[in-house]
Structure 1
Amino acid sequence: MGDTGAARRGRRPAGQDTRAVVLDAARAEFLERGYDAASVRGIARRAGVDPGTVRHWYADKRELLTAMLGIAPLDPAAMVQGVLPGAVEGMGERLVRGVLGLWDDDSGATVRLVMPAVMADPDLRGLLPGFLGAEVLGPVVARLGVPDARRRASLVASQVAGLLMTRYLVPVEPLASMPVEEVARLVGPNVQRYLTEGLD
């Protein structure tokens, strides 16, 4: 006699869109537990599949969230790994260069498509701070070992969000058309101040 109270795990019957079920479960898990506390194992349990089934499509929870947001080909974590090496003094400029390099790849089309949808959904909007903190700003600030890490990360986020807005969503010239290197040179010092300099 089988246990009818537990969700059947493993491969789902043919005809069911398991990937869609996994993404639905991921959304529910993220919204209930937050990005930091959510796990692939918890998402798999909620979807009624094995963790290996989830990892067949998504290596980790970062990939699950970016798939939910429609930005799965982009890898913010890989961008951060390109920012961290090198002198601390140039990190602000490298961060601006990395962020713009990530989103400039399709001339900002992904930003223009995804960000309005996220901003219109209060649930997804609430997930963004945890995601950005864990995958982008957290590693950068942790590398610096500076005091007031959360305050600094929030100030950097404000600068980056404003840059994305005025470059892609509501283009302000000549910023919207400037080469990435020029923007990094001009805006990088502001980000650097938030990262490493005195805030008083």
Structure 2
Amino acid sequence: MTEHSEPRRRGRPRGAKAGDTRTRILEAATAEFGEHGYEAASLRAIARRAGVDPALIHHYFDGKQALVAEVVKVPLRPDRVVRDALDAPVDELGARLVRAVLTAWDSGAVRPAAVAALRSAIGQGPVARMLREFLRREIMHRIAATLGDADDAELRAELAASQLVGVIMVRYVLEFEPIASVGVDELVRRVGPAVQWHLTGRFGSLDSDAPSAHNSSHGE
């Protein structure tokens, strides 16, 4: 075998610094997400654009979700926040989701970047498209999957998310009072049952005195 036929080595290119390689991967991910969106972009395509082996991406990043968080510079993994909240009994999902999301957004290290990312998501352009696809794939679909075989699981998940996004917009982006200053516990008590209702058609354990759908005037 001649020196020209030596197989390509896996891993970081010779002489490449870790910081340089990581930066190249992030730049490639930004370009790939911008051109193809979150769902269509693949780790293999990002690696090819960066000129590295695909396995090297996993050396620096925990999958495509982590790349998105790095690209938009948010020190938070919303897919993990939702995943942890969904690891709960069905009747506690609403309260757990509200608490998890608001606790994460209340962090001083997270809020500025998260607000900027949210503003980007509701705007136009490739970054907005990437964020919307990410949120739909990693959060909406994850919530819907938790609801099992319900025919309207995606609708339920989106309605629940609309409650959360509404609170986030008013509390952290618009900063309207008094909701901007209300404690997380109080918001969980008030908003949790509404989110639970959208998810399951029940108000959940936090609002056991609330009237059920069967006792409402709409059910008569």
The match for 2:72 among 69, 73, 85 is 69
- Which one-letter code corresponds to 2:78 in the other structure? P
Secondary structure in 2 matching 1:86: coil
How far 1:65 sits from its partner (Å)? 0.4
- Runs of 4+ displaced beyond 4 Å: 12-16, 117-121
SS in 2 for 1:182: helix
Distance in 1 separating the partners of 2:122 and 2:79: 22
From 169, 175, 187, the equivalent of 2:173 is 169
Q: When the two structures are superposed, what TM-score results if normalisation uses the length of structure 2?
A: 0.76
Farther-moved stretch of structure 1 (105-114 vs 120-129): 105-114
RMSD over equivalenced CA pairs, Å: 2.9
Verify the 8 A CA contact 1:97 1:180 in the aligned structure 2: yes
- Residues 3-61 of structure 1: CA distance to partner in whole angstroms, max 9, x if unpaired? 9xxxxx84275578332321121123223443233322221112111123222221200
Q: Which residue of 1 aligns with 2:21?
A: 18
1:148 to 137, 140, 152: 152
**Deviation readout 1:97-119 (Å, 9 max, x if unpaired):** 11111111217333334333454
Amino acid at match of 2:158: S
Which one has a bigger Cα radius of gyration? 2
- 1:24-173 equivalences under 5 Å are 24-71=27-74, 73-106=75-108, 108-145=111-148, 146-173=150-177
User: How many residues are treated as equivalent by the alignment?
Assistant: 195
Where relative contact order (Cα < 8 A, 6+ residues apart) is larger, the structure is 1
Could you tell me the TM-score, scaled by structure 1's length?
A: 0.82
The percent identity for this pair of structures is 40
Note the residue ranges of structure 1 that are not aligned, 5 or more in a row.
4-8
